[in-house]
Amino acid sequence: MPNITVELLSGRTLDQRREFAAAVTEAAVGILKARREAVRILFTEIEKSDVANGGVLESDK
């Protein structure tokens, strides 16, 4: 722990994932005093046609 799930719209690069995973792990270790090797981050890519905000699919906006 912590076990962190990141739902995000598809389109980010692998480098952005690398950087974000490193930054969030740093914050978990520094602020939450988590053990580095115990910090797990899972990225789940979402398409605009998968998600609706305010009742309208993002792909229809």
**Element at 56 (helix H, strand E):** strand 56-57
∠ CA 27-10-38, nearest 5°, is: 30
38 counts as catalytic:
no
Q: Is 55 in the site for a copy of itself (CB under 8 A)?
A: yes
Q: Is 61 in the site for a copy of itself (CB under 8 A)?
A: no
Binding mask 6-25 for a copy of itself (x = CB under 8 A): xxxx--x-x-xxxxxxxxxx
Structure tokens at 44: 């789940």
At its nearest, how many Å lie between a copy of itself and the CB of residue 48?
10
- List, by residue number, the catalytic residues: 2
